[in-house]
Structure 1
Amino acid sequence: MPLNPEVEGLLAAMAEAGAPPTAESPVPLARAATEAFGEMQGEAEEVANVENRTVPGPDGAIPVRIYTPATDGPRSAIIYYHGGGWVIGDLETVDKPCRTLANRTGSVVISVDYRLAPEHAAPAAFDDCYAATVWVADNAADLGIDPAKIVVSGDSAGGNLAAAVSLAARDRKGPQIAGQALIYPVTNYDWSSPSLEENGDGYLLTRSSMQWFWAHYLGAADPTNNPYVVPARAESFADLPPAYVGTCEFDPLRDEGEAYAGALRDAGVEVTAKRYDGMVHGVFWLQGAVPSAKVLMDDVVDFVHGVTK
């Protein structure tokens, strides 16, 4: 399929603006540039209650933002881990998508502001996300949540973290996860896939920026055999919760996401996998500028409804 015209126009505008490539940017500049994504997400929806608070983490308090819609409890829950290569992104980056998720699913959405690399290398981000997930399950009654209806979700690096939390919840016998919604997830540490060759430059996320993200996340150690850092390295994919795996045609990470969906399916996991033709990595953050990408939101909402009914 050709590149979606809305995406093509956005990429042209971004190129004309002349922002430096992520891989050539110091970390503070890359983080500051992320603020521009908020302007491309459309209007923020009103949610009945939005609360910022902190929850206990393995190395100090973890900031979270809790979106509670105007629905009767106990509700399902979505624990959301933002993307950004474990280096950039925060609660503000995904504020608008989380508001929409809360309103459209009727779920309490808990967005997790996990520690970022390079200040905190792997597996710090995973450790925070798992701890926040345990806290949600342990405090389900106070949050108005049904603990049997907790979905973990995230985009890109957040999809990596959602997959990792699902693996850890299985391995550690809890908490119970009803589903994992993985939006163009990072699942492997492998530079040989055809999609990396085909889409490694010119489609928002590049091969060089992915290498930059991984280098910051891994730090001086080499935890790539840790399945909570590289989910594709897990010894088994059996007994994991149902999964939605969304991939984009013009995404360097397309093949690893689809391979992960295949590994889950081969292990007997219920999988909903979909490739979004004409789309690029990052469009879940860009639904104001790329209205066609709203189908990703539609599909995530449908998945959540399906696993929490």
Structure 2
Amino acid sequence: MSLDPQAKALLDSAEQSGASPFNAYPAAEARAIYDQASELVKGTPPNPFSIEELSIPGLTGDIPIWIYRPNDSESLPLLIYFHGGGYTIGSLKSHDSVCRALCVKSGCIVASVDYRLAPENKFPAAVEDAWSATKWLSQNTESIGVDIKKIAIGGDSAGGNLAAVVTLLAKESGSPQIAFQLLIYPCTDMTCSFDSHKTFGKGYRLTNELIAWFYDHYFSADDDIKHWKASPLNADDLSGLPPAFVISAGFDPLQDENRAYAEKLMQAGITVKHSHYEGMIHGFITMPGALDKAKEATNECAAELKRAFES
């Protein structure tokens, strides 16, 4: 297995620039840098029919969401999307290109959720906002123009973790009915105990030091990391969940826990497709302007969403 040449060029460019890692900055400054960096690699995303900015009620205040609409039909599938960023960085802006592409290519409405970030908001604040947004969106399908039988939950990295957890919460509460889960290199085990953390935890953008920085910001107590709302791999029962599409990357420290979650879902009788992008690094789907594999992965996500909603 070798690093994709475009991914290597991206990493080499970052190293030659002398830029400090995100964990070298205070969280607020790291967020601004991350949003700026996202602009450099987003490419030229497609334009959806419309983008609407809303604020919806959460437990402690309003939650901003952006609603991407592919056309003006009145009964469309919905993908509720949670951005990555280690619960500390990332925003509606940083993942705008991903949501635009998923909307246009899949024909789904995409609702991107701006959940509260750490360290200002500790675990389980992000889960609370993700769940509040999911409930609100499912209760307002008619006004949004959504087919209530065609709701998917998705996200990348920390957002993939939130997607997995929200899907479990929906099963636990009995509603809403989730038709599909889109899990893009999701965090599923916060103990970081899998071998891939040792093998790929240095030199490939998402380092062990950066992961520790994220988790130190997000968690208040050591026991929190083992709770299934933080580590869905620890959930006792994954049966009865909707079909899943899981993406992993070959030079990502999270790849073993991605694979483990996919396998545990399958063992519980869930239909799972797992696509492993061997030469890619963590976060690659947000970089279509620099990585051809990002476009390929986005197209695959869109195709799986279409397939799920047509079945």
CA RMSD of aligned residues (A): 1.1
Q: Deviations over 1:174-224 (max 9, x none)?
A: 111011000000000223212111100000101111111111111246322
Distance 1:25 1:233 in 2: 32
Aligned length: 309
1:7 aligns with 2:7: yes
Deviations 1:220-255 (A, max 9, x none): 463223212211111111111110110000000000
Give the AA of the match of 2:213.
W
CA deviation string 1:135-173 (max 9, x = no partner): 111000111100110111100000000000000000011
Which stretch has the larger CA shift, 116-125 or 220-229? 220-229
TM-score by length of 1: 0.97
Quick one: distance in 2 between partners of 1:112 and 1:259?
27
Partner of 1:286: 287
CA–CA distance in structure 1, aligned partners of residues 109 and 204 of structure 2: 33
- Structure 1 residue ranges without an equivalent (≥5): none
Instruction: Report the Cα offset of residue 281 of structure 1.
Output: 0.2
Amino acid at match of 2:95: V
Separation in structure 1 between the aligned mates of residue 256 and residue 38 of structure 2, nearest angstrom = 25
Paired residue type of 2:169: A
Instruction: State how far apart, in whole Å, the 2-side matches of 1:63 and 1:191 are.
Output: 31
The amino acid that maps onto 2:284 is V
Q: Stretches of 4+ moved more than 4 A in 1?
A: none
Letter aligned with residue 99 of structure 1:
R
- SS of corresponding position for 2:143: helix
Compute the displacement of 1:38 (Å).
1.9
Is 1:109 aligned to 2:87, yes or no? Answer: no
Matches within 5 A, 1:198-277: 198-220=199-221, 222-277=223-278
Question: Higher mean Cα deviation, 180-189 or 289-298?
Answer: 289-298
Query: Could you tell me which residue of structure 2 aligns to residue 27 of structure 1?
Result: 27
What SS is found at the alignment partner of 2:177?
Answer: coil
2:29 partner letter: L
- Kept after mapping to 2: 8 A contact 1:118/1:219: no
Name the aligned partner's letter for residue 33 of structure 1: I
